[in-house]
Amino acid sequence: MTFKLRVFVLVALVALVAMGVSTYLTLRFAENQVASSTQSQQQTLRELADRITKYGRDHGTWERVADLARQLAQQNGKRIRLETQETRVVIVDTALLLGQPNDPVTEMTASVDPRPQFELNRAEWVKGRSAVLQAMELYRQEIRFAACLTRNSVDPVAVSLQGGVPTFSYFDAAPTVVQDCRQGLVSMPRVLDDDRIEIQQCELATYPTDPAKGTRTESAAVLAEQTCLQEAYLTRISGTGPEPLQLAVAVEETTISATPVALAVSAVAVPIILCTLLLSRHVLRPIRELTLAARRFGQGALDQRVAVAGGGELARLAQDFNNMADSLQRSEEQQRRMIADVAHELRTPLSNLRAYLEALEDGLVTPDAALFHSLHEEVLLQQRIVDDLQTLALAEAGRLRYHWSTVSLSELLESCRTAHQPSASTAAVELKVTAEPGVFVRADAYRLRQALGNLVTNAVRHSPAGSTVTLSAARSGPSAVLAVTDRGSGIAAADRAHVFDRFWRADRARSRTSGGSGLGLAITRQIVLDHQGDITLISELAQGTTFTIRLPALDSPE
């Protein structure tokens, strides 16, 4: 698979995964919303069922329940329908009451059963069937009484329930209404006879069997009788009180269809893939050019460069490649020049040695002390060049060893002046030291003196007789400043940028009389850099030159 295809597939995959995740999260959010909506609607359904159930228990009839249904529908904004459970006869439909469209809608249903459960305490259960018979008749009378109050526009409220028989509150009812409603509440004898017959069906004729003993247990029989009496109670009171209803509440249908989501994803995916293809081509074109340039560059074509367009990451990458190519090309050119310079520097002393040795072998020259002195000088010059090359190579590779200690700059300058005084005296040049006391640095004294020595040697070499070379040291803020100043010939402006290059010398002829290997300033700069410092120069032709070294100063000697 090509890089272009891999990039396209990667970008397209990322886009599709992002869409998939977004779609999944959207569906999950929608499902949660649907679940939350369903839960809320179920809670509303339970609250409505509780309100309507309480109405049936309080009023003993479903008459006037339409007023409550209308009120609840207006409060909740829901369509409410009440119908009988068995025959499905509609009692109330708020769509008809409020003049709303009677269209089929999605509904949630719940059972509304206002009948109380028959419950007796331990003492009442002792009475058994007689207590149930009394409760049946008492419930019918109380429910008839509540229904009568309701028909007379009185709203009774069931305030308590004793053994399944409600007790009502009707403080706002007129005494005459109460008196009238209390008349004729007793059931007919035939109904009471039917009650007794229903109760007699709960005889303790059959007992559950205890598997361990193979006999009927009295406790199980009592439980069976209680259950039978409760069922008989509900059966006999059902014909008097409000019957159970089915509550239906219209709800908003909240379903999730995957088809619109799939269409939306498809509508988004196709443009994204097309845009990804175009984007990949736009992005990969400069990358392809950069790849070809890098390949040719690796094959030795160091002049390869790429066009820089825009200001994005690819433009910065192209610029970095060009900078790297420039740096490598300069390094290659410097390496070639260095090899040529090394060959040139070593050719002269080697040629002299060869010439003298061949002359000695042929008997053309006499082996006297002067000849041996000259040969010795040539060997020393060659040895100095080799030593300087080794020092510079170690310094640039970071392998030059340093022995760090606290160094006093005033003492360092004095030792440097003492070491170079003989050569300065021979050239009739005065060495002068001006140093502030108490200026200390963390340095390798030997290497720092070597760096200063190269500067002093160059200053003495290029200073006229009778002039002065000044070595100074001072504190400037957080830095310690070392300076070597001469009053020599100076350095031309065009040459100042090359002063610290390897094998650079103002004397283009590289004659032995000018001295030096051309590596001293390069070694000095590297030593200063290893000391976390920097070196600069100021020079004017026929005025002199000042080299300045700045190093981190110590506040006090350690």
Q: Which of 431, 437, 450, 433 is nearest to 392 (CA)?
A: 450
- pLDDT (tens place) for every residue of the chain, 558 residues total: 555 566 667 766 777 777 777 777 777 777 787 788 888 888 988 999 999 988 988 888 898 899 999 999 898 888 999 999 888 889 899 988 888 888 777 888 999 988 887 766 655 655 667 888 888 888 888 888 888 988 888 888 888 777 678 888 887 788 898 888 888 888 888 988 888 888 888 765 444 555 555 444 667 777 777 788 888 888 888 878 888 899 999 887 665 555 655 665 666 666 766 766 666 666 667 777 777 888 887 777 777 788 777 667 777 877 887 888 888 877 777 677 767 766 766 776 787 788 878 888 888 888 888 778 777 877 876 777 777 777 777 777 777 788 999 999 999 999 999 999 998 999 999 999 999 999 999 999 998 998 999 999 999 988 999 999 999 999 999 999 999 999 998 988 888 888 887 766 665 544 444 555 677 888 899 899 999 999 999 999 888 999 999 999 998 776
For residue 67, the one-letter residue type is: D
Phi and psi dihedrals of 183, rounded to 5? -85, 140
Instruction: Specify the 3-state DSSP secondary structure of 208.
Output: coil
Residue 515: count other Cβ atoms within 10 Å of its Cβ: 14
Q: Which of 158, 162, 159 is nearest to 119 (CA)?
A: 162
Cα–Cα distance, 537 to 519 (Å, whole number): 17
The CA angle 553-557-558, to the nearest 5 degrees, is: 110
Dihedral (Cα; 224, 230, 235, 237), 10-degree rounding? 160
Burial of residue 471 (CB within 10 Å: 0-12, 13-18, 19+) is buried
Q: Which of 140, 83, 90, 137 is nearest to 115 (CA)?
A: 140
Instruction: Specify the 3-state DSSP secondary structure of 38.
Output: helix
Q: Where are the beta strands (DSSP E) in 154-203?
A: 157-162, 165-169
489 DSSP assignment = S
The pLDDT of residue 476: 93
The alpha-helical segments, DSSP class H, found in 363-471 are 369-396, 409-426, 445-461
497 DSSP assignment = G
Q: Which of 401, 500, 398 is nearest to 446 (CA)?
A: 401
Which token pair is 153? 């526009």
Domains located in the chain, CATH noted: 3-111+252-258 (no CATH), 122-241 (no CATH), 402-554 (3.30.565.10)
Residue 383: count other Cβ atoms within 10 Å of its Cβ: 11
The pLDDT of residue 472: 96
480 CA to centre of own chain: 46
286, 314 in Cβ contact below 8 A? yes
Q: Which of 241, 238, 251, 246 is nearest to 111 (CA)?
A: 246
Cα–Cα distance, 478 to 216 (Å, whole number): 108
Dihedral (Cα; 304, 309, 314, 316), 10-degree rounding? 80
The pLDDT of residue 512: 45
For residue 78, give every residue at least 6 positions away whose Cβ sits within 8 Å of its Cβ, in sequence order, or none: 44, 48, 72, 249, 250, 251
Instruction: State how far the alpha carbon of 334 is from the alpha carbons of 331, 371, 500, in Å.
Output: 5, 37, 13
